[in-house]
Amino acid sequence: MGLLSDIRSPEDVRALTPGQMPELAEEIRRFLVGSVSRTGGHLGPNLGVVELTIAMHRVFESPKDTFVFDTGHQSYVHKLLTGRQDFSALRKRGGLSGYPSRAESEHDVVENSHASTALSWADGIAKANVVRGRDDRHVVAVIGDGALTGGMAWEALNNIAEGHDRRLVIVVNDNGRSYSPTIGGLANHLDTLRTTQGYEAFLDWGKRALFRSGPPGRFAHRWLHGLKKGLKDVVAPQGMFEDLGLKYVGPVDGHDVAALEHALSRAKSYGAPVIVHAITEKGRGYTPAEQDVADRFHAVGVIHPETGLPVAPSRFGWTSVFADEIVAIGRRRPDVVAITAAMLHPVGLAPFAEEFPERTFDVGIAEQHAATSAAGMAFAGLHPVVAVYATFLNRAFDQVLMDVALHRAGVTFVLDRAGITGEDGASHNGMWDMAMLRIVPGLRLAAPRDEATLRAALRTAVDVDDAPTVVRYPKGALVSGIPAVEELDGVDVIARHTGKKSDGGARRVLVVGVGSMATTALETGEALAAHGVDVTVASPTWVLPVPAALVKLAGEHDLVVTVEDGVVDGGVGSMIAQRAGEQGILTPQVHVGLPVEFLDHASIDHIRTTRRMTAADATRDALAALALL
């Protein structure tokens, strides 16, 4: 790998000559395409920050100078330059995390990959440096233009601006995109900055035009001063940042290491908060990514590096079903509108936006605003459908509770990637939603098990106009259809088994499979029946509030086994037990699900196995509870 293979720390990067920078950048890009194409991961964002990361490590001294990456998905280059060049197991158990990881390196600080948090982290670290008298170090926060659409980033900027004694450099990595093109007023402002770099050139033209007839007089100087003052807000509108009290440097070419080093060195010497505005290109240097308009290379699976095409094409998945059904609903219901938080394509709203552009609202990385804006739309006669990843609804819990539920607003939240997501690690597993949302008064939550129940749940959800509804589904491909063999007051029974006991005294077990765990529940039921147990397997689509029929079923059995892909404490199983207990039904229960802990990156199957969430685990626990083991 030439230069890259000799880099073990940032000191090695600083030891290289300026003339070696283009070669190093090219090597890094070849490495990223070759490695990430074999493992999957965030390719486009990292190709875009190669020169920027090199320049940061040449101007600053990590880890004494603290680097904070917003979301962290663009930290692969940082990993390479800090000695982590084994990407063979990237995002797999035992391999490198796809985000910064304190367990990996002292150069990594913030592990949370939820957006718009880096500036608050940086503000806190910079304040602590001042309090502790550490005036020999800087904090460098890298935040994308997409993350700047999040309100928390502006709360941080408001505080950072008053810290004139804080050595803090904010690098705005401006590529005009988050997952997809960045939207909103900030995007328009940055676009103006990007496209009006001719400020000084325009002044030079003015000078030449004015002085063409001879030496300048007093009037000419006054005219030039007025021209410069008037053009500043029009041609160089960095005043938005400077009005906050923040020094602004840029725009600078984010793919020119020398220019970046110069800009970062100026910012470093200032001794107070500075914004360095770097213009970069997502996917830089990789033709398939540069030519992609749908941002397929933001995060990829295993791909052919030459073409960028997936090695194994994705099977028809949950998101595709939602994408199809919400368009069908939109055609019938002109009051249904769609809201997303900078993830139009990933959550499946692109087809809806194409057919109903005036009814689609991308609010940027602003889940709190999305929820409260939806409440306002509901008040005004619309039915908003807010589609986000399950992990990101955590950020808007207060708004769901106090703005939507308190006001009995008919808003539907669609949670993609609910449950275990695996490779992206702790911050992306959508495992908290059911336990979190169970305490929201009036909220109804559906966990469909297959395509048919997902479509039905969506249709039911948008018909509720006096309370929030939630429809959650997992990451990945759909399972085969699981039809109900019986329906009991809204609860689907998907299997019944009669255990073969010679004395006719078979024990009766109710197995409840929540959402995508219905398959595991079916397997558990079959295994228990093989041990002579009578089994009823139920899979209620609507799990919150707990259906009365499910509580009744619990009272008709000797044991209840619940299987869910959320946290057990406060989950659906615990809610069934609570409701049954309130009615004097004391049937013993076994709850299978996730512990309340942060999960390291690993495959979904590995996590389910190590957390004892398989059918074999559920069967053993049930037999033990029945004293049959």
Written as six digits, the tokens of 464 are 């509720």
Q: Which amino acid is at 255?
A: H
Does the annotation count 395 as an active-site position? Answer: yes
- The amino acid at residue 305 is P
- Please tell me which residue in 79, 84, 166, 282 is annotated as part of the active site: 282
* Residue of 27, 261, 367, 423 marked catalytic: 367
| Per annotation, catalytic residue among 58, 91, 296, 395 | 395
Is 282 a residue of the active site? yes
Contact 424, 298 (CB under 8 A): no
Determine how many CB atoms are found less than 10 A away from the CB of residue 573: 26
* CA–CA separation, 149 and 145 (whole Å): 7
Alpha-carbon distance of 414 to 418, in angstroms, equals 10
DSSP secondary structure letters along 62-92: TTTSEEEESSSTT-HHHHHHTT----TTTTS
Annotated binding-site residues for thiamine diphosphate read 73, 113-115, 146-147, 175, 286, 367
Backbone angles phi, psi at 462, to 5 degrees: -75, -10
Please check whether residue 393 is in contact with residue 416, taking contact to mean a CB–CB distance below 8 angstroms: no
Find the helix or strand (DSSP H, E) in which 53 lies.
helix 50-59
Residue type, 415: L
Does the active-site annotation cover 367?
Answer: yes
Per the listing, tokens 């810290």 go with 163
- Measured N-to-C along each axis, helices 257-270 and 50-59 cross at an angle, to the nearest 10 degrees, of 40
Annotated binding site for Mg(2+): 145, 175
CA distance 303 to 298: 13
Annotated binding site: 73, 113-115, 145-147, 175, 286, 367
Q: Are 388 and 368 in contact (CB under 8 A)?
A: no
Whole-number CA gyration radius for the chain = 28
Report, as residue numbers or ranges, the catalytic residues.
Answer: 282, 367, 395
